[in-house]
Amino acid sequence: MEDRGIIRKIDQLGRIVIPIEYRKNLNLQPRDTIKMTMVDNHIVIDKYSERCIFCGNKNKLREYRGKQICPKCAAELKKKV
Ligand SMILES: [Zn+2]
């Protein structure tokens, strides 16, 4: 189904509420971290994890295509390609 958009007003502090439908689709929970980026004059909001998407490690993370990955998992992936 095409997303025709949801119109919201920004409050005096610049805040908006992310619609419940979007939060459910992305499994966004209260106190989750999100990442905002500007792409072609649009604001893009992504769920952000401070852990490796594969093993949950929190150390020495690097970002690849918007996801966090640890050196060990990156090395394992490199071997499989
Ligand atoms: Zn990992």
Same domain, 8 and 18: yes
72 CA → ligand 1 middle, Å: 6
Total domains, the chain: 2
51 CA → ligand 1 middle, Å: 8
Joined tokens for residue 49: 């994890």
Same domain, 14 and 28: yes
Same domain, 35 and 70: no
Strand pairing class (62-64; 67-69):
antiparallel
What pTM was computed for the model? 0.60
51-77 average pLDDT score: 92
Cα separations in angstroms, 41 against 4, 9, 37, 38, 44: 18, 18, 10, 6, 9
Confidence bin at 1 (pLDDT 50/70/90):
low
6 CA → ligand 1 middle, Å: 36
Confidence bin at 19 (pLDDT 50/70/90):
very high
Same domain, 59 and 78: yes
57 CA → ligand 1 middle, Å: 5
